[in-house]
Every structure is written in structure tokens, then in C-alpha cells.
A and B are shown apart, each in its own frame.
Chain A
Amino acid sequence: METVLSVKGLRKSFGQLEVLKDISFDLGRGQVISVLGPSGGGKSTLLRCLTQLETIDSGRVEICGETLFADGKYAEKEALAKITLKVGLVFQNFNLFPHMSVTENIITAPMRVKKIPKDEAVETAKGLLAKIGLSDKADYYPYQLSGGQQQRVAIARALALSPEILFFDEPTSALDPELTGEVLRVIRSLADSRMTMIIVTHEMTFARGVSDRIIFMEGGVIVEDGDPEALFTNPKNPRTREFLSRAAD
């Protein structure tokens, strides 16, 4: 399997607090990894480091064959821009642009960054909206949509740039329980179409069903990394066991 993301010895501190301590893992094309673990364990920071929203302190990160960070420094500006387009990020709080309609939210980056002609970008947006079941909301503004609908649009916006890897940072944590299902269904359909994804989530059942692999993180380290069934039925690490049993309550 082709490796699309390789992380070796990644470290990140906020002042005195070391949030990521020597994180290493590989992600293969078409693989879906869920990252579980208690809050403050470094899950979100990991995604933010990989999407250049936080600066990496040390380690080595390669994305789709391009080196993002190595030997204490980042790649050249042009390489960074290229890597940015290879990854997409779906935020916990959606972060849709409130002054733009659903379609404008989706077509802005393809048009401004990839210089795709408007009619082509709009066609792509239509296709994506059909896929997430929101064709009738193309001209709505974010405030007119439910949280679940907004998050689906945010997923479509990320997909519009055809990223190689899609990251989800707790995509359902800001949603009412009855709205999580529609978002999880979209993510599941992406998994079925072999989209490469890393999903930080607290939805245990979903993670177990959708992932090829589960990474359990706590205190800035990967405590366990393995097959979902094995991890859920027979976790090797006592911390994982404790977390899963508490989460099951």
C-alpha cells in the first residue's frame, strides 16, 4: 500500500507544556484511521500540525511524497502551498464563511487557489451537494442551515479541492445528538469510496465500524495503534482499556 502520510518523531510544545511527544505513524492510501483518547491528549494538535495551523517543533512529516517538515525546518513556500492542497480539514465548528452562500463557500478556494473557471467550479459544487444530499440548499446562507447541514457543507468545501487526505477534527462534537447521524453517514460514504482519512472523534461505535485502524492517544503519545476489533475487544494497554470501559458507560 502506498504511504500518503508519514510522521516520525513529531514533537510540539506550547511554552513549557509538551503536547505531542514523539509521535510516529504511517497512513496508507485509502486507509481510514480514527484517533481516540481523552481531551487534552494532543489529538487536535496533531491534526493542526499536519495542516500547518500549528508549527511543528521537531520530527519529520511527509505528505504524498513531499517533505513538509524535516531537520528542524519547513519546506519552501511553494512546496508548502502544494502540500496544503493535498490535505483537507473539517473543523469541529464548521467555520463556514457566513457572508457566502453554500455554493460560494464551496467554489471560492477552487476558483481563487486552483484558478478553476467559475462554471466548472459550480458544476463540481453541484455534484458535491448532490452527494451530501443538500442540492436544494445551494443558495442558502450558513445561518439558514442546521449544524449538521453546515458540517456537511464544510465537508463538501474541503472535498472541492480534491484532497488526497481528509482530516476531521471532532466533526460531530458541536452538534446536537440527533444531528450527528447525517454527518457520520457522509463520512462513512467517503470511507466506502476509499477516501484517505484521519478522524479525531469521540464517537466510539462509529470509529469502530468505519476505521481500518485506531490510534489511541493520551498525554501526547500514541498509547496504542492497531486493528479496531482487537483494540475494542482486547486492548493491550491498561490506559486504553480504562478509557474504553469508561466511554462505554
Chain B
Amino acid sequence: MNQNVLMLMLQGASMTVRIFAVALVCSLPLGLIVAALRMSRLWIFNLPAKIYIVVLRGTPLMLQIFFIYFGPAFMPIFHFRWSDRVVAATVALVLNYAAYYAEIFRSGIEGIPLGQSEAGKVLGLSRVQTFFIVVLPQVIKRVLPPLANEVSSLVKDTSLIHVVGITELMLVAKQQASRLTNPLPYAVAALIYLVINTVVSRIMAAFEKKLSYYR
């Protein structure tokens, strides 16, 4: 293994980190929206959200990546093709993780005592104000630990998108290992994933600490 190979792997890692970051930033708000729909009393909102969650959590992420990437090409009536495979793969990750985050948010929101929103209401806060000022800050504190697990899974699951030929860390490792007929690139990749996840979990722990000022 030479410097050149290491360079290629670091470039792959950079792609991994960028896809991870975009997927995370997009899937969190989408998860919150899905959770809100899932908790609606109107079936027209909660039924699609329930189906979405069941399907996305109940089928393999790999299958979802294939389906989203190749699907449009097989359905010419939609006149749609992905211009960029990275976008397609990121969309797959976002849709999949939003389903998991939605369930975490839902349990977080349901865990906040009803009295909190009632207090907001009698104080004259609107429903939107009550949610954003009273409920959501408490939800964030509650969901951080389960969220941290999922975020760490997301780092690892970005490796699946190598199946559609995105030059991220996993693909580079695979290519270099077979080119060199040497497992070392896999070990290096493992080390890089570990470093990324260590940084990620440090950041999550810092958030948790920041919110530990109340109980």
C-alpha cells in the first residue's frame, strides 16, 4: 500500500462524510414531519405515514437504494432519470432514515406529559408556539440518546451505496483490496469508519451534555 492508495481512500472517506452529513441534515426534519403526520388524528395523514414507516423500516436499505436509483429508468411514463447517482443514493438514505427518526420523534413527543401543552394553551400560546417553545425542546433532550444510535448506524450504512457505483470509502476499499490482492485497504477503511463514528458520538455526547442543565 502506498501513499496514492491512502489518498484515494481519504477522498472516498470525504465523499462518505459529505453524503452522511447531507443525509442526516435532510432526514431529521423529514422524520419530524413524518412523525407529525403519523400522530395526526386524521387517517388521511396518519395512514400514509404508517405505511411509509412500515415499508421503509421493513425492507432492506440495499433494496431501497436499487429501487430508487434504477426504478425511474424502468418507468418511462414518469420522464425522470437521476442526473446524479450521488443524489439518488442520498435520497434513498434520507427516506430510509426519516422513517426511523419519525418513530424516535413520535415516542419522544408522546413521552412529554399532556400537562405541558395544556399549560401552554391556558397561557395563550398558539398550538405552533406550544410545540416549538414548550414541547420540542424537551423532545430533543429525550430523543438524543436513541438518535445517537441511529446516527452512528447512518455512518455505517453509507457504505451500502457503493452498490450503485459511488466512489465512497467502501467502494475504494473494495477496489484497492482486489487490485492489490491484499486485505489491508479494508482494515484502513474500518479504521476510518471508526474515526468518523468516534467524532460523531463525541458531538452527540456534547449535545447531550449541553441539555443536561435540567431534568
Tell me whether chain B's interface is mostly helix, strand or loop, or mixed: helix
Cα A91 to Cα B138 in complex, Å, equals 20
Known: A108-B133, A112-B129, A112-B133. A98 touches B214 (CB 8 A): yes
Number of residue pairs A-B, CB distance < 8 angstroms: 60
Q: Are A53 and B137 in contact (CB under 8 A)?
A: no
Q: Decide if B116 touches A97 in the complex (CB within 8 Å).
A: yes
The answer on a CB contact under 8 Å between B141 and A95 is no
State the CA gap A87–B124 with chains docked (Å).
10
B173: min CB distance to chain A, Å: 44
B interface list, Cβ under 8 A from A: 113, 115-116, 118-119, 121-125, 129, 133-134, 137-138, 141, 213-215
Bound: A161/B129 CA distance, A: 17
Which A residues are CB-close (under 8 A) to B116? Answer: 95, 97
**Alpha-carbon gap, A93 to B125, bound state (A):** 19
| B109: min CB distance to chain A, Å | 15
Question: What string of 1s and 0s marks CB contacts (under 8 Å) between A77-93 and chain B?
Answer: 00001001101110101
Structural contact, B129 and A84, CB atoms closer than 8 A: no
Partner of A91, one of B115, B125, B213, B215: B115
Interface residues of A in 105-161 (CB under 8 A from B): 108-109, 112-114, 141-143, 157-158, 161
Lowest 3 A-B CB distances belong to which pairs?
Answer: A109-B123, A95-B119, A113-B124
CA distance A91 to B123 in the complex (A): 12
A51, A89, A98, A141: residue with the most chain B Cβ atoms closer than 10 Å? A98
